[in-house]
Amino acid sequence: MRSATQPHYSGRFRVRVSAICALAVIGVLGSTPPPASASDPDPATCSAQSFPVPAGRMGGTLCVPNGGADTVMLLVPGISIDQSYWDFPYVPERYSFRRAMNTAGIATLTVDLLGTGTSTRPPSSEVTSLGQAHGLHDIISLLRTGAAPAAPFARVILAGVSLGAGIAVWEATTYHDVDAVLLAGFSHLLEPSGLLPIAGTFVPAATDSRFTDRGYDAGYWTTAPGTRAQSFLGPSTEPQVSRLAEEHTEVFTLAEMLDGLPTTVTNVTNQIAVPVLVANGQRDRLCAPQVCADAPALRVAEEPYFAAGLLTTYVLDNAGHATTLAPNTGEFQTAVVGWAAAVRAGA
267-278 residue pLDDT tens:
999 999 999 999
pLDDT at 21 over 80: no
Angle between helices 129-145 and 163-175 (to 10 degrees): 60
Within-domain flag for 308: yes
Within-domain flag for 1: no
Within-domain flag for 329: yes
Phi-psi region of 306 (alpha: psi -120 to 50; beta: other; left: phi over 0): beta
91 CB-near residues (< 8 Å, 6+ apart): 36, 38
Within-domain flag for 2: no
DSSP conformational letter for 190: B
Within-domain flag for 3: no
Output the domain CATH number for residue 270.
3.40.50.1820
pTM of the complete model beyond 0.85: yes
Within-domain flag for 110: yes
| Exposure class string for 8-37: b at 16+ Cβ within 10 A, else e | bbbeebbebbeebbeebbebbeeeebeeee
**Residue 211 domain boundaries:** 8-34+41-187+194-344
Pair type for strands 311-316 and 276-281: parallel
Number of domains in the chain: 1
Q: Which residues pair with 204 in a beta bridge?
A: 221
Nearest Cα to Cα of residue 60 among 217, 52, 211: 52
pLDDT tens digits, one per residue of 56-108: 999 999 999 999 999 999 999 998 999 999 999 999 999 999 999 999 999 99
